[in-house]
Structure 1
Amino acid sequence: MKFLRNLVASIFGTFIALGVIFMLFILIASLASESEKIEIKNNSVLELRLKGVIKDYAPKSENPFDEIFGFNDGKMGLNEILNAIHNAASDTNIKGISIRVSGINGGIAQTQAIRNALSEFKESGKFINAYADLYDQKSYYLSSVADSVFINPYGAIDFKGLSTEVLYFKDVQYKTGVKLEVIRHGKYKSAVEPFLYNKMSENNRSQITSFLTSIWNEMLQDISKSRNKSVEELNYIADDLLARNAVLALENSMVDGGVYVDEYTDKLKIATGTSSNDDLNRITLKDYISIGKGRKRSSATNKIAVIYAQGEIIYGKGDENTIGPELIINALRKATDDKNVKAIVLRVNSPGGSALSSELIWRGLELASAKLPIVVSMGNLAASGGYYIACNADVIFAEPTTITGSIGVFGVLPNISQLADNIGVNAEQVSTNKGASYSVFEPMTDAFRTVTQEGVEQVYTTFLERVAKGRGMLVAEVDSVAQGRVWSGVEAIEKGLVDKLGNLDDAILHAAELAEVTDYRVRNYPSYKIDFEDRINSFPFMKSKEKLFLEELGEEHYKIYKSIKQLSTLKGIQARAPFMLDIN
C-alpha cells in the first residue's frame, strides 16, 4: 500500500513539475516575442532563402502553443511566397530582392511559379540580385531571373541537364523470398515496374525521356530569356559542364561576377543607397510573411474558394500531407453552402493513390459542379488519381513543368510463399466456400489473379469513362493517351488532357470570369486541426520513427526504404504515379 501511495505521489509530482516547466516555456516565449517585434525599415532588401519545405498550402495554426513549440516551423506555403513577392513590388520600404538559395525543397513547377512572380516583380523597376556559394540546377534556374547573378569565387554551378534514377528490386525479391504480386493495366504504369523487371522497360524509358526533355526545354527557355543566351548555347554548357566552377561560369556568362559574401553585401548597399559604413537593412521572407505580407488584402464580399488537394490520396479523413475524401468533400460542402462563394478552384499536387478515394472525391466534385464553376490548377504533380479528381473540371490549368496524366491502375499484394518454403513454414487453409481467396503464404492462384485482374480492368474502364466525360473525348481517344503514360504540362495540352498553361492566379482569375465577378477575395480550404496525439508526436524531443530512420539511413537509403514501405502497405486498387521519380 505504501508503495502504491509513493508511486501516485511521484506521478503527481512529475505532472506538477512538467506543468511548471510548461508555464515557464510560455512565459519565456511570450517575452521573446514581445522583444523581437518585426518591422520593415526604409531601404530594406527582401531576402529569399527558401530553407523550409515548400508546400502549395501550409496554413499556420492559430494555437499559441503550436507557435511556442515550433509546430508551424519547417514549411512554407507557395501561396504565401507568391503573395509576399507581389506585395513587395508595391512596398515603398522594399528597394529590391536578394535571392540566397543553394537548394530548393520544392518541385520544379513550384520553382517556376516563384520565378514567374520574381519576373513580374522586376516590372516594378526594383532590382533583384542573387548570390550563392554553390548552385544546384533548381536554385540556378530560380536565381537566373535576377538582374545580376553572383557566385563565390571558388563556388560552382551544377548545370548538367535533368536526370532521374529508378531502382529495380526483382532480384532482391527472388533472393529474400518476399515479393509483391502485381496486377496492372497500362503498359506505361511504371509505379510497380521495379518489382517486375531487373531493368527499365523501353516504354518507361520513352515516357521519362519525353517529359524530362519537355521540362528541361521549358527551363532552358526561361534561362535563355534572362541570361540572353540561346538554348543551343545552354545545352552546350550543360553537355560539357562549362559552369562547374566560378571561372568557367563567368567565362560562359552564366554569372555576372565571382565575389565573396561581404562584397555581395556591398553591392546590395550600393543598390539600396546605403552608406558603406551603415548596416544593410534586410528582412527575411519568413519575417515578411509573418507580419501579414503573405496575404492579399480585400474587403470584397464575393469569394473564390481555393481547395488544396496535396499529397497521396488515401482512404480516410486526410490531413495537410494527404488527400482524404472526408476532408475534401467537407471542404466542397462548406464552399457550396457559402452564398458568397461564386466559384471553386481545386489546386492539385498529388501522385494519386487509392482508386476508391479518387472516385469518392470525383463524385463530390461532380455534385459541386452542379452549383458552382470549378477550375483545376495543377502544381508539381497531378498524376493518376491526381488527374482522376481533376478531370471533370470546367477548365484545367497546368504549369508547363507539371507532371500529369498517368491514367492507369494497378493492384499489389505481398507474397512470402518462397520465404515460407525456405524456412520450413507450411500454411493450411480451411474455407466454407470455394470462391477464389488469397494467402500470403501460398502462390497466387490463377483463379484469384483472374478475379483481381477483372477488378483492375473495371477501375481502369471507369477511369477512362470519367476522363472522356470530363474532357469531351471518346473513350478510345483517352485510352490512346492513357495506359499509365506520364506527360508534362506542355505535352498534356497537345493531348487534350489540359486546357491552358498557367499558375494558380491564372486559374483563380479564370474562375472569377466564369462566375462573372470582378471584385472578389480568396478563401482557402480545407482547415486543418492537429489533435493532441499529433501535437505530442511533433514535439522536438519526440522524434518520429520516420525521422530516426532518415537520420540513421541517410537521405538516399531512406528513399529506398520509403518506396518499398509505400508499396508494401497499399490497400485496394491504386491509381498512382511512379514512386521513385526524383528529378534532379
Structure 2
Amino acid sequence: MNFLRNLIASIFGTLIALGIIFILIVLLASAIGETDKISVKENTVLEIKLEKTVKDFAPKSDNPIDEILGLNDDKIALNEIINAIENAKDDANIKGISINTMGVGAGIAQTQTIRNKLEEFKASGKFINAYADVYDQKSYYLSSVADSIFLNPAGSVDFKGLSSEVLFYKDLEDKSGVTMEVIRHGKYKSAVEPFLYNEMSDANREQIASFLNAIWGEILDDVAKSRNIIVDELNNIADNLLGRNADLAVQNNLIDAAIYADEYESKLKQAIGVATDDNLNKISIEDYISTGKGRIYSSASNKIAVIYAQGEIMYGKGDETYIGQDMIIKALKAVRKSKDIKAIVLRINSPGGSALASELIWREIEITKKTLPIVVSMGDVAASGGYYLACNADKIIAEPTTITGSIGVFGVIPNISKLASNIGINAEQVSTNKGANYSIFEPMSEDFRAVTTDGVEQVYNTFLDRVSNGRNMSFSAVDSIAQGRVWSGVEAKKIGLVDDLGNLEDAIAAAAELAEITDYKIRNYPDYKLDLEDRFNGFPFMKTKEKLLIEEFGEENYKIYKTVKSFSNLKGIQARMPYVIDIH
C-alpha cells in the first residue's frame, strides 16, 4: 500500500515539476521576445538573402511553445517577401537594398516574382546593389536586377543555361526483381517512364526541351534588359562559360567589378551617405518582416480571400506541405460564409497527385464560383492535378515560367513476383468470386490490367471534360494539347490553357475587378492549426531518419530512394506531372 501511495505521489510530483518548468520556459521566451524587439533605424539598408526555403505561404505559429521547440522551421513566405519590398519603397528609413545571396531557396517562377518586385522598388528611386562570393545561376538571375553587381575576386558566375536530368530505374527493376506495373494515358505522361524504359522517350525529350527553352528565354530577356547585353551574346556567354572567373565576368559585363566584401560594405556606406568609419545599419528581410512589414495594412471592409494550395495532392486532411481535400474544402466553405469576402484567388503551386482528391476540390470550386468570382494564380508549377484544380476558375493567370498542363493520368502498382520467385516464395490465392484481383507476388493478369486501364481511361476522360467545360474548348481540342504534355506559362497562354501572364498581385487585381471593388484587404487561407501530436511530430528529433539517410546515402542517392519510395506509396489513379523536374 505504501509503495502504491509513493508511486502516485512521485507521478504527481513529476507532473507538477514539469508544469512549473514549462511555465518558466514560456515566461523566459516571452521575456526574450520583449527584449529582442527589432526596430528599423535611420539610414538602413535592407539585406536580402534567400537561402531559406521560400514557400508561397508559410505562416509561423504565434504559440511560444512552437518557437521554443523550433517548430517554426527554416522557411520564408513569398507573400511576405513581396509585401516587405513594397513597404520598403515608402519606408523613409530604408535607403536601399543589398542582395547578398549565394543560393536562392525559391523556384524559378518565385524568383522571377521577387525580381519583378525589385524592379518596382528601383523605380521608386532607391538603389539596389548585389554582392556574392559566388553566384549560382538562380542567384545571378535575381541579382542581375541590381544597379551594380559585385563579385569576390576569387569568385565566379555560373551562367550556363538550363538543364534537367531524369533518372531511369528499368535495369534496377530487372536486377532486383521489384517492378512497377504501370497503366497510363498520355504519350507525354512521363512520370512513369523511369520504370518502363532505360532512356528518355522522344516525346518526353520534346516537351522538356520546349519548356526549358521557354523558361530560359524569360531569364535571358530579363538579364538582357537589366545588364544591357543582347540575348545572342548572353547565349554565347552561357555556351562558353564566360563567367567562370571574376576577370571574364567583368569583361563580359556580367558584373560591374570584382571587389572584396569590406570594399562592398564601403560602397553601401557611400550610397547611403555615411562616413567610411561609421557603422552600416543593415536589417535582414526576415527581421524587417518581423517588424510587421510583411503585411500590407488596409482599413477596407471588403476582403479578397487568397487560398493557398501548395504541395502534392493527396487524399486526406492536408497541411502546409501537401494539399488534402479536407483543408481546401473547409477553406472554401468558410470563405462562402463570410459577408466581407467579395472574391477568391486560388494560388496553386502543385505537381498534382490524387485524382480523387482533385475531383473533390474541383467540385467545391464549382459550387463556390456560383456566389463568388474565382481567379487562379499559378506559382512555380500547377500541373496535372494542379491544373485540374485550376481549370474551372473564372480566370487563370500564370507566371511566364510556370510549369503547367500535364493533363493526363496514370496508375502504378508495385510488383515483386520476380523477386519472390528468385528467393523461393510462392503465393497461392483463394477467392470467393472470379473478379480480377491483384497480388504483389503474382504477375499482373490481363483481366486486372484491363479493369485498371478502364479506370485510368475514365479518369482521363473526366479530366478532359472538366478542362473542356472550364476553358470553353471542345473535347478534341483539349485532347490534342493534353496527353500529359507539360507547358510553360508562356506556351500555355498561346494554346488557351491560361488567360493571362502575371503574378499573384495581378491575380488579386483581376479578382477585385471581377468583384467590382477597388478598396480591399487580403485574408489568407487555410488556417494551419497543429494539435499536440502534430507539434511533436515536427520536433527535430522526430525527423532524424531523413537526416540520417541523407548523411549515409548523400543528397543525390537520397533523391533516388525518395522517388522510388514515393511511387511505391501512391494510392489510386494519379493526375500527376512528370515526377521529378529538377531544373538547374
Residue 513 of structure 1 corresponds to 513
Change (3 A) 1:195 1:263: same
Q: Does residue 1:548 correspond to 2:548, yes or no? A: yes
Deviation at 1:547, TM superposition (A): 3.2
- For 2:444 and 2:550, the matched residues in 1 are separated by 34
Residue 57 of structure 2 corresponds to 57
The residue identity in structure 1 corresponding to 2:155 is: G
- For 1:90 and 1:539, the matched residues in 2 are separated by 39
Change (3 A) 1:290 1:512: same
Residue 33 of structure 1 corresponds to 33
Q: Does residue 1:361 correspond to 2:358, yes or no? A: no
The residue identity in structure 2 corresponding to 1:528 is: Y
- For 2:2 and 2:576, the matched residues in 1 are separated by 60
Residue 530 of structure 2 corresponds to 530
Deviation digits for residues 223-281 of structure 1 (CA, Å, limit 9, x no counterpart): 00000000101000000000011111111110011111111111000001111111101
Deviation digits for residues 162-191 of structure 1 (CA, Å, limit 9, x no counterpart): 011100000111111111100000000011
The residue identity in structure 1 corresponding to 2:567 is: L
Q: Does residue 1:579 correspond to 2:583, yes or no? A: no
Structure 1 window deviating more from structure 2 (68-77 vs 454-463): it is 68-77
Change (3 A) 1:195 1:94: same
Matches within 5 A, 1:88-99: 88-99=88-99
Q: Does residue 1:256 correspond to 2:244, yes or no? A: no
- For 1:266 and 1:275, the matched residues in 2 are separated by 9
- For 2:8 and 2:168, the matched residues in 1 are separated by 55
SS of equivalent to 2:184: strand
Residue 401 of structure 1 corresponds to 401
**Is the 8 Å Cα contact of residues 165 and 582 (structure 1) preserved in structure 2?**
yes
SS of equivalent to 2:464: helix
Residue 430 of structure 2 corresponds to 430
Deviation at 1:66, TM superposition (A): 1.5
- For 1:394 and 1:75, the matched residues in 2 are separated by 32
SS of equivalent to 2:497: coil
- For 1:247 and 1:28, the matched residues in 2 are separated by 52
**Is the 8 Å Cα contact of residues 51 and 102 (structure 2) preserved in structure 1?**
no
Residue 81 of structure 2 corresponds to 81
**Is the 8 Å Cα contact of residues 45 and 283 (structure 2) preserved in structure 1?**
yes
SS of equivalent to 1:582: coil
Residue 453 of structure 1 corresponds to 453
Structure 1 window deviating more from structure 2 (268-277 vs 545-554): it is 545-554
Q: Does residue 1:494 correspond to 2:494, yes or no? A: yes
Change (3 A) 1:582 1:9: farther
The residue identity in structure 2 corresponding to 1:441 is: F
- For 1:235 and 1:262, the matched residues in 2 are separated by 33
Residue 337 of structure 2 corresponds to 337
- For 2:17 and 2:152, the matched residues in 1 are separated by 51
Give the gaps of 5 or more residues in structure 2. none
Q: Does residue 1:220 correspond to 2:220, yes or no? A: yes
Residue 568 of structure 2 corresponds to 568
Deviation at 1:420, TM superposition (A): 0.8
The residue identity in structure 2 corresponding to 1:351 is: P
The residue identity in structure 1 corresponding to 2:476 is: A
SS of equivalent to 2:522: strand
**Is the 8 Å Cα contact of residues 537 and 544 (structure 1) preserved in structure 2?**
no
- For 2:134 and 2:286, the matched residues in 1 are separated by 22
Give the gaps of 5 or more residues in structure 1. none
Residue 243 of structure 1 corresponds to 243
**Is the 8 Å Cα contact of residues 351 and 576 (structure 1) preserved in structure 2?**
yes
- For 2:393 and 2:25, the matched residues in 1 are separated by 48
- For 2:425 and 2:54, the matched residues in 1 are separated by 48
Structure 1 window deviating more from structure 2 (31-40 vs 441-450): it is 31-40
SS of equivalent to 1:157: coil
- For 1:12 and 1:552, the matched residues in 2 are separated by 43
- For 2:385 and 2:540, the matched residues in 1 are separated by 34
Deviation digits for residues 61-93 of structure 1 (CA, Å, limit 9, x no counterpart): 121211232222311110000000000000000
The residue identity in structure 2 corresponding to 1:421 is: S
Residue 200 of structure 2 corresponds to 200
Deviation at 1:35, TM superposition (A): 2.1
**Is the 8 Å Cα contact of residues 352 and 575 (structure 1) preserved in structure 2?**
yes
- For 1:277 and 1:323, the matched residues in 2 are separated by 52
Residue 484 of structure 1 corresponds to 484
SS of equivalent to 1:156: coil
Deviation at 1:6, TM superposition (A): 7.2
- For 2:571 and 2:416, the matched residues in 1 are separated by 17
Residue 117 of structure 1 corresponds to 117
Deviation digits for residues 307-348 of structure 1 (CA, Å, limit 9, x no counterpart): 100000010110011111111111111111111111111000
Deviation at 1:22, TM superposition (A): 3.3
**Is the 8 Å Cα contact of residues 159 and 243 (structure 1) preserved in structure 2?**
yes
